Chains A and B, each alone.
Chain A
Amino acid sequence: MRFSQAQIHRYSRQLILPGFGGKSQSKLAEAKVFIMGAGGLGSPAAIYLAAAGVGTIGLADFDRVELHNLQRQILHRTQDVGLLKVDSGKKTLESLNPDVQVQVYSERITWANIREIIKGYHLVLDGSDNFPTRFLVNDACFFEKKTLISGAILRFDGQLSTFKPHAGGPCYRCLFPQPPPPGTVPSCQEAGILGAVAGAIGVLQANEALKEILEIGKSMAGRLLLFNALGLSFEVVELRRNPDCPLCGEQPSIRELIDYPLTCQA
């Protein structure tokens, strides 16, 4: 790939990283990353991926920007309130880096369309805010053999892992076989979230996505990061594949996508 002078300047601080060079930059330009949710996690993740020069970013969200989103969803600005989040996000990302193509999905992502959509991407980032979507994304990634960088946040805590059962590691269901019953886990609306916690986990999702694209460093597959903002602690625990996993286990009971209802407590 030939780089323009502007691209050489834009990416100079990563081009000079040991072992990076033009080949890594080309890999980023060719990479296609799908981000589920243009909210607290998806915003910082998308911004850093776009800034790094990831060529195609898919943004999925059917919500519109609201004032209470702006405390953490840094893709959006005050004047964007009322716009579709994907349109606001596309505008922010393309103004940050015109090298990036942003594909937007403002329709609700369901069992009926998700596999067809993620087929066209190399990597999926989950920044969704509810369990039905989280399980849907995990299952779709399993069936489509896509690496999933999963992030989750609540109050002052965050979690992150990479799931690629197609390469031997566990999937999200190895950790949580079924969604919790509605109402048993508080949502961000009930529990609150510190914006910077979303930022920390979302940026780490971008970091892991870049590692997966470039095939560098140690993948978070088979490991779970537990982050607590109050104690500022990062703990990494090992995750093992669950042979009884209903999705990727030895005798799977899930053979197609499940349409979990999106309840108000989810």
Chain B
Amino acid sequence: MSGISAGIDREIPQKPDGRFTPFDQELNLKGKICPYTFIESMLALEEMKPDEVLRVIVDYPPAVCDVPRSLKNEGYEVLQVGSINETDWAIVVRNKEVE
């Protein structure tokens, strides 16, 4: 696990990101680990309207890379990934255009 974490640490944003992307719904997944972070994000998107934007909050470092990658593989558009404080990250993703 330590090797994987080291690889991810190099990629994930470590400082708060000042940009603000508007969103329609927020999902707090603090305390959740993979793959549940991705699954719950996807299930939330499936319940949302086409084109709506979801902001997912995670505090599990591997999720910061895994969730956006898995969402992209499923055809979702990831708008933003950024650190929001010392412990949490936000992943902003747009729902698919058609259901």
Residues of A within 8 A of B (CB): 2-3, 8-9, 12-13, 15-16, 18-19, 21-23
Complexed CA–CA distance, A196 and B81 (Å): 49
Q: Smallest CB–CB gap between B65 and chain A, Å?
A: 15
**Smallest CB-CB separation from B39: which chain A residue?**
A15
B46 near A16: Cβ-Cβ < 8 Å:
no
Complexed CA–CA distance, A226 and B30 (Å): 50
**Smallest CB-CB separation from A16: which chain B residue?**
B35
B74 near A18: Cβ-Cβ < 8 Å:
yes
* Given A16-B35, A19-B74, A21-B74; A8-B42 close (CB under 8 Å): no
* Given A16-B70, A19-B74; A8-B43 close (CB under 8 Å): yes
A-B contact pairs, 25 of them (CB 8 A): A2-B47, A8-B39, A8-B40, A8-B43, A9-B36, A12-B35, A12-B36, A13-B35, A15-B39, A15-B42, A15-B43, A16-B35, A16-B38, A16-B39, A16-B70, A18-B73, A18-B74, A19-B74, A21-B42, A21-B43, A21-B46, A22-B43, A22-B46, A22-B47, A23-B46
Which residues 67-84 in B have Cβ within 8 Å of A in the complex?
Answer: 70, 73-74
**Smallest CB-CB separation from A19: which chain B residue?**
B74
B46 near A12: Cβ-Cβ < 8 Å:
no
Residues of B within 8 A of A (CB): 35-36, 38-40, 42-43, 46-47, 70, 73-74
Q: Smallest CB–CB gap between A2 and chain B, Å?
A: 8
- Given A12-B39, A16-B35, A19-B74; 9 other pairs, CB 8 A cutoff: A2-B47, A8-B40, A12-B35, A16-B70, A18-B73, A21-B46, A22-B42, A22-B43, A22-B46
Q: Smallest CB–CB gap between A18 and chain B, Å?
A: 7
* A interface, over-half SS: helix
Count of A-B contacts with CB under 8 A?
A: 31
Q: Which 4 A-B pairs have the closest CB atoms?
A: A22-B43, A22-B46, A15-B39, A16-B35
Which B residues lie within 8 Å of A19 (CB)?
A: 74
The residue that A8 contacts in the complex, of B36, B47, B70, with Cβ under 8 A, is: B36
Which A residues lie within 8 Å of B43 (CB)?
A: 3, 8, 15, 21-22
Which B residues lie within 8 Å of A15 (CB)?
A: 35, 39, 42-43
Which B residues lie within 8 Å of A12 (CB)?
A: 35-36, 39
Complexed CA–CA distance, A19 and B42 (Å): 11
Complexed CA–CA distance, A12 and B73 (Å): 17
Q: Smallest CB–CB gap between B85 and chain A, Å?
A: 25
Which A residues lie within 8 Å of B46 (CB)?
A: 21-23
Which A residues lie within 8 Å of B74 (CB)?
A: 18-19, 21
Complexed CA–CA distance, A19 and B40 (Å): 15
Complexed CA–CA distance, A12 and B35 (Å): 7
Which A residues lie within 8 Å of B35 (CB)?
A: 12-13, 15-16
Complexed CA–CA distance, A18 and B71 (Å): 10
Complexed CA–CA distance, A15 and B35 (Å): 9
**Smallest CB-CB separation from B46: which chain A residue?**
A22
